[in-house]
Structure formats: C-alpha cells, structure tokens
Amino acid sequence: MPESITYSSGKNSTPSAAATGISATSGAASQAASLGGFREAVCLNAGRVYDSCSSKDCLEDLRVYMTAPCQALLDSCSSVRCRSVDVLHVAMDVDSVPFNNGYYSVDMTFYFLITLDASGTNGSGSACGSQTVEGIATFSKKVILFGSEGSVRSFKSGDCIPCALTSDAPTAQVQTVDPICLGLKLCDQPKPECGCESIPAELESLLGGPVVTQAARYLYVTVGLFSIVSLERQLEMMVPVYDFCIPEKECVSASAEDPCELFKKIRFPVNEFFPPKDCGCD
C-alpha cells in the first residue's frame, strides 16, 4: 500500500477554534464591547486546533479492487473510462511520538470509491454499450503534528458506557474535497505490492460483496487529493471572532506520461473547505 509520511516542524503560531457548542454568559456582551476592533467575543466549549497542515497529494498507480462480477467485465472490456472518485472513509489512529512531548503521529488510510465506464464486445464480437463498474482503492499516509499535552477526560450526558478507558490524546480531523481522477492504467500483469491492503467488510458491502485479488487484468488509477489534517483538544475559552483559519504549511509527503506534474499546477481549493465570507445579499 502506498504510504506518505510528513513531519511537522511545530505548532501553528495563531491558534484557532472549531466550535462544537456555544454557551452564552452574562458578561460576554460587556467583554465584547471592551475589545474595540473585534465584532464580538463569545464563550466556547470548543475544539482548539493546536496544529494543522494542508496536503496536495498525487497518488500514482493505486490498485482498484472489484467484486467478481465487476472484475469479469473489466477482464473482457476493450476500453475503460473513469467517471468519478469519491472518498468513502478515512481510518485514523493517533499515537504519541516517543521523546517528543506534545507531538503525535496521525496514521490515515483513505478508501476511495472509483466509478468507471467499461466498454466491451458481446459473444459475437460486435461492440456493445458501456457498463458502470465500481471498485475501491486505498492509500496510507502519516503526518506528525503538535497536539499539546493534557490528562483531562471528558464525559457528556447521553454517552454510552465505554468498552475501554477514554484516551487523553488529541482528536484528529481530516477534511477533503472530491478527488480528481488523473489517469488509468489497465495491465495484464500486477505491479509489485506489499499485499497488506485490507478493505473493511462494511465498505465491501457497498460494492455488493467481497473484492477479488487475482484477475486476468489489473486496473490502476492515479488520483489527485486535497486534504487538511488537524489535531484539536476540547477546551472552554473566551475568544474574539476574527476570520477563517487556513493552514499556512503543507504536509506533503506533468504531462500525459506524468499526470502528477499537471496536478501540481492546480491551486489548493481554499473556497471548497470554507464557506464564502460575503453574505450574498447584494
């Protein structure tokens, strides 16, 4: 499975908060008035983002795994075209980094749903219309971010009884926009693989059954992926309202022959992650 690892040099200089709950206090209005240039100050029980980074990854030659019926169509098709790529799920694991207090590694595995149009021939050899087939591709990535230190465990009304002790590690969050399909390769022989790809049964059920690993032909896709990774902790704080917080650093691990060169020229889609600031009432 392809893997990308990035190490962050430190925490962001400007902290930011992503509100998960707002609790108004009687003194909030008077404190806001004393802040001059700020529009308002609010009391938040929120996740403070301690560190974040943006990624622009060109993921080359990801193996597309399909169910047996879809693989049979692929084995007999004469051409295949990529219709869309969607992020089905991102599995994340947060672990502390030894000898680096406050730093955590975030291991992520992206699961992509690849939708394709396959065209082939019927039994008499004449061309028939295209059919839609779907498959799943995976990609693993690791980043190291600053998440501060803490030993507080929070409990809320409505929580279920946990099966294990809650962790005091920060919470990781990944945001993505729709990936871009940059290229396809249909091969008669498989590329060298580690054989460690594992697709959860819940995702296989979306395809209608388990995927197959052995095939007559093997499909590989190149995907362009924009993402933002952040580490946050739940805090109560009084904060002035500024603007959207956009990561200033990258956590990155051109031609028809090298689709990644084309992807590198595409600007990071900031507006896709943050709503427009204008009210649109003109």
Q: pLDDT tens, 222-257?
A: 999 999 999 998 888 887 777 777 787 777 454 455
Q: pLDDT tens, 62-86?
A: 999 999 999 988 888 888 999 999 9
- 25: pLDDT confidence band, cut at 50, 70 and 90? very low
- Of 201, 206, 274, 255, which is closest to residue 54 (Cα–Cα)? 274
Q: pLDDT tens, 148-181?
A: 887 667 777 776 776 666 677 899 999 999 999 9
What lies within 8 Å, CB to CB, of 207 at 6+ separation is 66, 67, 70, 134, 135, 136
Query: Can you give the pLDDT at residue 239?
Result: 75
